[in-house]
Amino acid sequence: ILERSASMSEKTMRDLFSGFCPISGSVLSYKRRVLRVQMTLPAVYGGSETGMMYYCCSPCVCDTQDFLKVDTKTIQIADGTTQAHFVVIGNPCTDQAKIPFQASDVNCGSNHELVKATLSDHGHIIIGMFFEPGIPHHSDSAAQKNDQAEFADMCAARAQSGHRSGMGTIFREVAAIAPIQVSNSSMSKIPVSTSDAAKLTKSGQTGTTDAQNGMVSKTTSVIASELSFARVQTCYLSVIFSLICVVF
């Protein structure tokens, strides 16, 4: 998606990122209830961020809070440069021997880089979008959501059972290879310019009528087509496409 973002509006880009689960890589069906969860996660530049994420099933919420951090990414969209927040993991290629054999599509280059990875502003591997508060139809006050705290008991029970539901241990094994160490003093959030912030706000409000009435069929088909092509580029742990995210 980010490789092609220069040809998209911000609204289209965000809609595409809402169409798959960043933990499993599973494409989310528009025919079933959306599992949209408000999460508070550590930020790589210190502190924490609160925002919205989309999931295929509840166990993926557990894996998120155990391993993911938030970072920014300055990106090119159709009407200029803007900055958005994303969830990131560390680079598993720093210790290739620990990559589980089941994750056969987690491939490393000659310089210990993860093949086809897109990096955040602080150099971490992006696996999905973190929708900042106030994004129309995703994380604004009208968006229906669950809260991270609602899954605490389920996550505790899942941990006691050996993480057997959801993605099982494959994602966890990969994400645990190089956990991101957060330091409040070593990094700072990369600022976005005032003009770019204005563009972000204006672009994010585009298309309100369509979103309120539900995606028109043409828009839906375009998003589905984009996801079919782009998910391989965006979900770097693509081995998990072949697995079913089982609802706990």
pLDDT in tens, 105-120: 899 999 999 999 999 9
pLDDT at 195 over 50: no
Strand partners for 71: 86
Q: What is the pLDDT of residue 192?
A: 57
Burial 130-156 (b: 16+ CB within 10 A, else e): bbbeebbbbbeeebebbebeebeeebe
* pLDDT of 194: 41
Q: How far apart are the two ends of the chain, measured CA to CA in Å?
A: 29
Greatest Cα-to-Cα distance within the chain, rounded to the nearest angstrom: 51
pLDDT at 181 over 70: yes
- Given this model, what pLDDT does residue 214 score? 37
pLDDT confidence band for 134 (50 / 70 / 90): very high
Label residue 146 by pLDDT band (50, 70, 90): very high
pLDDT band of 182, cuts 50, 70, 90: confident
pLDDT of residue 29: 79
Closest alpha carbon to 231 in 77, 28, 37: 28
Matching residue, tokens 């925002």: 51
pLDDT tens, position by position, 23-51: 998 999 766 678 999 999 999 999 999 99
pLDDT for residue 244 is more than 50: no
What is the arithmetic mean of pLDDT over 89-117? Answer: 94
Is residue 129 within 8 Å of residue 8, measured between CB atoms? no
